[in-house]
Amino acid sequence: MKNVNTLIYLKSRKNKKGESPIYLRITVNGRRKEKSLGKSISSKRWNTVKQRGKGNTEDIRELNKFLISVEHSVFMASQELINNKIQVNIETLMNKYLNVEEKGHMLIESIENWNLRKKALVKNSTYKKYITSFKHVKKYLMQQYGLSDIDIKRVDNQFVSDYDYHLRTKMNIDNNTAIRYVKTLAAIFKTFVENGWLDSNPFSSYKKTKVIKDVVSLTQQEIDVIYKKDFGNKSLERVRDIFIFCCYTGLAYCDVQRLSDTHIVQGMDGYRWIRIKRQKTNVLCDIPLFPIAEEIIKKYENDNSVVVSGRLLPTLTNQKMNAYLKTIGDLCGIHKKIHFHMARHTFGTTILAANRSPIETSMRIMGHKTTSQTRHYAKISKVMVEEDVADLRKKLKKRNQSSDQGNMNKAI
């Protein structure tokens, strides 16, 4: 049984008769609610320890009988909740004691309230993901149950399993994204449990594993083809330049979009660096400005949109950039599906990892929180294997030559 305590006590304020109102306080697992009992008494006639009136007069006997009945009613209310397999928390117990019919917590209504609270706490991009997840839940309810909302108590293990199946089959959502949507809902239900609305989280047994996808990036040859291509179109050229800039800096779209002079600093090595906190993680990056990136900044320093915005580069919306990049890929004969975030992948693999940048250095440059994130980009490529084997061949050849020379000297 839950840890239920009652306290009958006097409020410090006094009425016109000089008496203090008598209150009931119910506490369940540290959470409490208070209720006036509609009676009052002089503090001189009150026993604080026994929580009863002092004396043996008729009015005191009647008062004490009433107080005993109050305590008994609280006890019986808690027993009834237990017998009916209803969670005993401060809300359910107080409602049962007062004979108030408890209003159920509806799923969609509760999610909407959760989203509103989150809106003030998270970044806009994260909030949009919550909204997308919320839309999938609404669609599922209508398709599966023909309902616009249901009580959260109707969400059980079968609901979770069916919702996951719905995302993967009816919505054709890939494994990793489906897991993210389900776990977003699981996080909301965790708050429901914390609020005392549910005994347990029906998502606690949900066990699905994300598939670690290979990072798709451009090779150095592909970067060079895009960089040197004459498109004969100003819009394509701008998008190409910003994409190449990010191939040599590793900046994500949201970070290059807000890049300004304030983010450029002079390093101790005498070169210019980008120092910026990633919008996604708020982690500081120290990014060297390589010559190609410097050239691109200089190219647009007098561009009207750059001058007006105060930014370093004339970015478009992410959607438009990706549409142009598809065209750029086609014109350059590159069969990979090029999107803007591929620039960051390319920086991590082709620029840093392939050139043997130490993990710790790459981690700082890319603004990762852990080295495991950086290692995801630093997978050994075929080119790196061939280069390493070529070096190994040279070492073995040199060693064999030394060994043969030593044997010849001994023979002489």
pLDDT for res 338: 94
pLDDT for res 102: 59
Quick check: is 44 in a domain?
yes
Q: Quick check: 411 pLDDT over 60?
A: no
Which residue intervals of 172-232 are DSSP H helices?
175-194, 220-228
Task: Check whether residue 131 and residue 8 sit in a common domain.
Answer: no
Task: Check whether residue 140 and residue 64 sit in a common domain.
Answer: no
Task: Check whether residue 93 and residue 172 sit in a common domain.
Answer: no
pLDDT-based confidence at residue 1 (cuts at 50, 70, 90)? very low
Q: Quick check: 383 pLDDT over 80?
A: no
Q: Quick check: 381 pLDDT over 80?
A: no
Interatomic CA distance for residues 130 and 124, integer angstroms: 10
CB atoms within 10 A of CB 386: 10
Average pLDDT rounded to a whole number, residues 89-110: 81
C-beta separation of 88 from 81 below 8 A: yes
Domain boundary among 178, 194, 210: 194
- Pairing outcome for strands 20-28 and 4-10: antiparallel
pLDDT (tens digit per residue) in 30-88 = 888 999 999 999 999 999 999 999 999 999 999 999 999 999 999 999 998 888 777 78
Higher per-residue pLDDT: 399 or 278? 278
Q: Quick check: 396 pLDDT over 80?
A: yes
pLDDT-based confidence at residue 407 (cuts at 50, 70, 90)? low
pLDDT for res 85: 75
Quick check: is 102 in a domain?
no
Number of domains within the chain: 3
C-beta separation of 110 from 157 below 8 A: no
Task: Check whether residue 151 and residue 112 sit in a common domain.
Answer: yes
Q: Please return the burial class of 133, using the count of CB atoms within 10 Å of its CB with bins 0-12, 13-18 and 19+.
A: buried
- Pairing outcome for strands 52-53 and 46-47: antiparallel
Q: Quick check: 238 pLDDT over 90?
A: yes
C-beta separation of 17 from 40 below 8 A: yes
Task: Check whether residue 362 and residue 237 sit in a common domain.
Answer: yes
C-beta separation of 95 from 102 below 8 A: yes
Task: Check whether residue 120 and residue 188 sit in a common domain.
Answer: yes
Quick check: is 384 in a domain?
no
Task: Check whether residue 47 and residue 186 sit in a common domain.
Answer: no
Domain boundary among 97, 128, 145: 97
Strands (E), 29-69: 31-41, 46-47, 52-53
pLDDT for res 392: 83
Higher per-residue pLDDT: 207 or 383? 207
Quick check: is 310 in a domain?
yes
Quick check: is 178 in a domain?
yes
Mean pLDDT over each residue of the chain, to the nearest integer = 87
Terminal-to-terminal C-alpha distance of the chain: 96
Task: Check whether residue 70 and residue 142 sit in a common domain.
Answer: no
Q: Quick check: 283 pLDDT over 70?
A: yes
Task: Check whether residue 129 and residue 250 sit in a common domain.
Answer: no
The CATH number of the domain where 344 resides is what? Answer: 1.10.443.10
Interatomic CA distance for residues 88 and 198, integer angstroms: 10
- Least Cα distance to 220 among 244, 240, 251 occurs for 244
pLDDT for res 211: 74
Quick check: is 125 in a domain?
yes
C-beta separation of 186 from 201 below 8 A: yes
Strands (E), 210-351: 264-266, 272-277, 284-288
Q: Quick check: 103 pLDDT over 80?
A: no
Strands (E), 256-342: 264-266, 272-277, 284-288
Domain boundary among 41, 66, 97: 97
pLDDT for res 52: 95
C-beta separation of 353 from 377 below 8 A: yes
Q: Can you tell me which residue has the tokens 């699905």?
A: 208
Q: Quick check: 136 pLDDT over 80?
A: yes
Task: Measure the CA angle with vertex 324, ends 316 and 238; round to 5°.
Answer: 55
Task: Check whether residue 72 and residue 145 sit in a common domain.
Answer: no
Q: Quick check: 385 pLDDT over 80?
A: no
CB atoms within 10 A of CB 136: 21
Phi, psi angles (nearest 5°) of residue 387: -65, -40
Task: Check whether residue 129 and residue 242 sit in a common domain.
Answer: no
pLDDT-based confidence at residue 165 (cuts at 50, 70, 90)? very high
pLDDT for res 96: 85
C-beta separation of 315 from 321 below 8 A: yes
Residue 92, CA distances (Å) to 1, 99, 100, 149, 271 in order:
14, 10, 9, 22, 66
pLDDT-based confidence at residue 406 (cuts at 50, 70, 90)? low
Task: Check whether residue 93 and residue 138 sit in a common domain.
Answer: no
C-beta separation of 309 from 259 below 8 A: no
Q: Quick check: 214 pLDDT over 80?
A: no
Residue 91 structural domain: 4-97
What is the percentage of the chain residues whose pLDDT exceeds 90? 52
